[in-house]
A and B are shown apart, each in its own frame.
Chain A
Amino acid sequence: MAGETGGEPRAWLAVDETAAAFISRSLSSRPTIILPPPLHRAPLRPGNVVEISGPSNSGKSHLLLMAAVQCILPKEWEGIYFGGLGKSVMYLDLDCRFDVLRLARILRNRIAEGSAHLRNGDFEKDGTKDEFQCSLQNMLFSDCMQRFLYVRCYNSSEFTAALKTLQSQSRSEVLGLGIYFVMIDSIGAFYWIDRASQPVGENKGKSLQSITETVIHEIRKFLQLQPALVLVTKAPIYADGTTTANDFNRGSSKYVMEDSTVLRYSRLEEERSLSFREYMPSIWQSFVTHRINLQVEAEVPSVHENEVLSTYTSEWMQPSLKTKEKFSIVDDGVILAQ
């Protein structure tokens, strides 16, 4: 860095390294991160900012949790291969809707899955072994959960304050591994409050602009010290047309409800027709390096009675991959549809 070599002006002119050295260095120090599908298509590295956008209930938070589990799980543990990263996650919850039980469930399933693989190869099975296994699993579980850091923010100033303390937080973490993923759910949470709280008479979006600038500044500062992958969710806040546009006649509405497919259809339509009006300031958009868009595709009846399994599609907008992928979310994971 220029600041550190400031005493030696000649060093500024020297070639830093060759491209080959650069790539081998970056491959070793900042390896590509493989995230669970459908985020696996684009190669991601620490320092990237990934924006996951999509309407409510399109699986954004779920993808975040899957990625978080991937990060906090170790690569290998007691001879069991988990393929995780074994690093810490910082989850900044702006929507305040995080459910730790869900994270716990996904994690436990992953641990159980990994152990089951091992046990298949292992033929000696007896009760004591199982018990031992169980306590080991609990230990691993608790280990992993401790790598998950969580903070809840109720307004923009708390959010920026949280970002400012990130660094000290990551340094003071005894785990020594540092924060590798930073997750923000969701970035537009305080949009209306910030927009409305700007002083009268000033330009539109002034305070929103400055808040976004501060947020970006803080994330950048953090990324410089600690290479990490930033995952951000974004929900649309404008619907196409106002909620009450067609509200002239009202029914007793019961007959509408009778046929629930009609309702689903309309919900689907509504979500499709959402104009993805960008509301974050342009400075934010240029800050984002990767963008993936999720949509609710269809609802197919699942094996269980009275249950509907939603199918979602994901599409990379940046880098623009022309393929759409279908996946569905079950209680504890993602199933890719081929």
Chain B
Amino acid sequence: MSYTGSAPASSSLYWKGMESSGDPPILAGAQSAWDMLSDEQSQKHITTGSGDLNNILGGGIHCKEVTEIGGVPGVGKTQLGIQLAINVQIPVEYGGLGGKAVYIDTEGSFMVERVYQIAEGCISDILEHFPHSHEKSSSGQKQLQPEHFLADIFYFRICSYTEQTAAINYLEKFLGEHKDVRIVIIDSVTFHFRQDFDDMALRTRVLSGLSLKLMKIAKTYNLAVVLLNQVTTKFTEGSFQLTLALGDSWSHSCTNRLILYWNGNDRYAYLDKSPSLPVASAPYAVTGKGVRDAVSSNHKRVRVT
């Protein structure tokens, strides 16, 4: 951090009034943008497994933010979700966050065998990148077991929107007890709300309440919230358009939005919304080891079962 060096006295003259010790801050607990900038620069991001994807996301999934990931079925939303749940656990000495994950599954698409596979893939990649540490410590070795990775994913299976609301309300307490959780994944946030909800106005209210709660969790516990979302078709201007589910008001309730789509036989991700980054797209691939860079344009489409 080059910014933290003490500033010459002249620069602070202008804001002397604010910085002089006698004055109370204008708002207790509020941070100045400057302090936030240094905080942000010391933040680590959660890698997606694909370098291209990390690039458009500014290094990976950011903590303290809510990221929505949408796409058609089979494009790899759940794969990416599981990948993130594994990647957040990469130990600090290997450049990761060394955190734990909460996975809230509403659709029943969490395949635990696949999680094991991805964890193995992740471990083998780590060992590939850090060959020297292979023999360095046995304790690190012990950590790098797929079982170990799986043990640190807290899995919630949700069967109705009431349960989902309850689980999200409970999360705050849960996270208070498990401070090492660094990512919360909800797969998918829309499922139950799209099924059995008649009162649309009420639905909007409940959902906007939920989204504020998730924002709060992300900020307070310094973790990333990832929401997976389905797509619906919308008939506009004579053609069907694919759009994310849950309506216009929900579309405002995330910090970042990533849309996954097929471009021919290739998977692409498109950053649709971000407060700090330009919109951009990048190819990625889902391999047996998990989400990785697309190797080449004629990369084979791997169907994962």
Contacts and interface: CB of A to CB of B under 8 A. Distances in A.
Q: Please determine whether chains A and B interact with each other in the same assembly.
A: yes
A109 to B, nearest CB: 42
A196 to B, nearest CB: 17
Interface string B179-205: 000000000000000000000110110
Contacts of A249: 232-234, 243, 245, 247
A251 B243 contact: yes
A248 B247 CA distance: 5
A29 interface: no
A243 B249 CA distance: 10
A247 B200 contact: yes
Interface residues of B, number: 20
Contacts of A251: 234, 236, 241, 243, 248
Contacts of A247: 200, 204, 247-249
B272 A252 contact: yes
Interface in B223-237: 232-234, 236-237
B247 A250 contact: yes
Q: Which of A252, A253, A256 has the most CB of B within 10 A?
A: A252
Nearest to B244: A250
B43 interface: no
Given A244-B200, A244-B204, A245-B200, A256 B247 contact: no
Nearest to A259: B237
Q: Which of B204, B234, B245 has the most CB of A within 10 A?
A: B234
Given A244-B204, A245-B200, A250 B236 contact: no
A246 interface: yes
B251 A250 contact: yes
A242 interface: yes
Contacts of A242: 200-201
What is the predominant secondary structure among interface residues of chain A facing chain B?
Answer: loop
Interface size class of A (residues with CB under 8 A): 10 to 19
A255 interface: yes
A246 B246 CA distance: 11
A282 B217 CA distance: 48
Given A244-B200, A245-B201, A246-B200, A253 B248 contact: yes
What is the predominant secondary structure among interface residues of chain B facing chain A?
Answer: mixed
Contacts of B116: none
Contact of A250 (B200, B203, B237, B246): B246
Q: Which of B233, B247, B249, B250 has the most CB of A within 10 A?
A: B247
A191 to B, nearest CB: 20
Nearest to B243: A251
Contacts of B234: 249-251
Contacts of B251: 250, 253
A116 B204 CA distance: 58
Contacts of A255: 236-237, 241
Given A253-B248, A255-B236, A256-B236, A248 B200 contact: yes
Interface in A200-257: 242-253, 255-256
Contact of A252 (B243, B246, B247): B243
A203 to B, nearest CB: 26
Nearest to A258: B237
Contacts of A245: 200-201
Interface of A: 242-253, 255-256
Given A250-B243, A250-B250, 7 more contacts: A244-B200, A245-B200, A247-B248, A249-B243, A251-B243, A251-B248, A252-B243
